[in-house]
Amino acid sequence: MNHLPTFDDVIAASKRLEGHARRTPVMTSRTLDDAMDAQVFFKCENFQRMGAFKFRGAFNALSQFSPEQKRAGVVAFSSGNHAQAIALSARILGIPATIVMPRDAPKTKVDATRGYGGHVVMYDRYTEDREQIGRDLAEQHGLTLIPPYDHPHVLAGQGTTAMELFEDVGELDALFVCLGGGGLLSGCALATRALSPACRIYGVEPEAGNDGQQSFRSGQIVHIDTPNTIADGAQTQHLGQLTFPIIQRDVDDILTASDTELVECMSFLAERMKLVVEPTGCLGFAAARQMKDELRGKRIGVIISGGNVDMARFASLLIS
């Protein structure tokens, strides 16, 4: 393994993000603290630019492009938050962005990506391989491919989320982080080991796709089929070559949450805290609620990773 990112890379990322990323608020609920008999601090990345923490990693990566890379442009494949994060960061930095998206991606996501100035290339998710399309575009046009999680600059950028949380509230006893491919979790783990060394860190993934838990417990990266879950930001099939060793070294355990629990959390956050959170963004909170007995009297951090859910879907999930 050539060198893994460290907390110094997270600090460098936070300097690059200054004046570009929003320093998102930390929110609390007295009702919840009473119910949990603990202190819960939510780091609200649903208020980040483009609606999720992914802006941090994307901006940190693009702002380190060489002049030639900037001129040629960036390519990313994603139907979700990474696409919008790359498109917005590229626009801010004056870099052309090409985003490879499935033809059946939600119109709102395609429109949002185009709205940020991204050039969208469609593919058929049943007959074409998006990674191949991305690589071909990169090769033919000299574009730089930025993956959604397995990249040192991406995960260092994501780590600024936990760094800000510890700067704002001090040391914690436990931190719960949503887990897909592990960019957010590995970056936050680097910040946690530096700023609150005794804090227990948990990654939380959908019950239907617990490849991260299987990998963590078996000691090697486990691949699964795309899981069927409402947590569409965490439908990844495997952890990354960079994210996995950091998670193995610095994370305490990987937990899971069911779709039913995610909906209960969305409902609580909307009703009690007036927060619109997408299903994936509730993973950390769902696991913290499961551990109520062990967490009594503790100071707990929960990362709310994003709030991009269209209102019709939000409403239908809550009434289902």
Ligand X SMILES: *Cc1c(COP(=O)(O)O)cnc(C)c1O
- Integer-rounded Cα Rg, in Å, for the chain is 18
Instruction: Check 14, 43, 54, 78 and give the catalytic one.
Output: 54
Interface characters, 207-246, with ligand X (x: CB under 6 A): --------------------------xx-x----------
Q: At closest approach, how far in Å is the CB of 79 from ligand X?
A: 11
Residue with Cβ nearer ligand X (89 or 158): 158
Q: Which two tokens stand for residue 135?
A: 């690589």
Instruction: Find, among 178, 231, 172, 181, the residue nearest to 38 by Cα.
Output: 172
Instruction: Find, among 153, 155, 145, the residue nearest to 76 by Cα.
Output: 145
CA 116 remoteness from chain centre: 19
How far apart CA 176 and CA 185 sit, in angstroms, is 9
Contacts of ligand X in 82-141 (CB under 6 A): none
Query: What Cα–Cα distance (Å) separates residue 58 from each residue in 63, 271, 312?
Result: 8, 32, 28
320 counts as catalytic: no
How far apart CA 86 and CA 310 sit, in angstroms, is 20
Residue 81 engages ligand X in binding (rule: CB under 6 A): yes
How far apart CA 22 and CA 214 sit, in angstroms, is 34
Helix (H) or strand (E) holding 293: helix 292-295
Residue 157 engages ligand X in binding (rule: CB under 6 A): no
Residue with Cβ nearer ligand X (261 or 278): 278
What is residue 243's DSSP assignment? H
Residue with Cβ nearer ligand X (178 or 190): 178
Residue with Cβ nearer ligand X (38 or 183): 183
Q: Which two tokens stand for residue 287?
A: 């696991």
Contacts of ligand X in 161-180 (CB under 6 A): 178-180
Q: Which of 38, 62, 90, 184 lies at the binding interface for ligand X (CB under 6 A)?
A: 184
DSSP 305-317: -B----HHHHHHH
Interface characters, 259-278, with ligand X (x: CB under 6 A): -------------------x
54 counts as catalytic: yes
Q: At closest approach, how far in Å is the CB of 211 from ligand X?
A: 11
Residue 286 engages ligand X in binding (rule: CB under 6 A): no
Residue 159 engages ligand X in binding (rule: CB under 6 A): no
Which active-site residues does the annotation give? 54, 79
Which positions touch ligand X (CB under 6 A)?
52, 54, 80-81, 148-149, 158, 178-185, 233-234, 236, 278, 280-281, 305-306
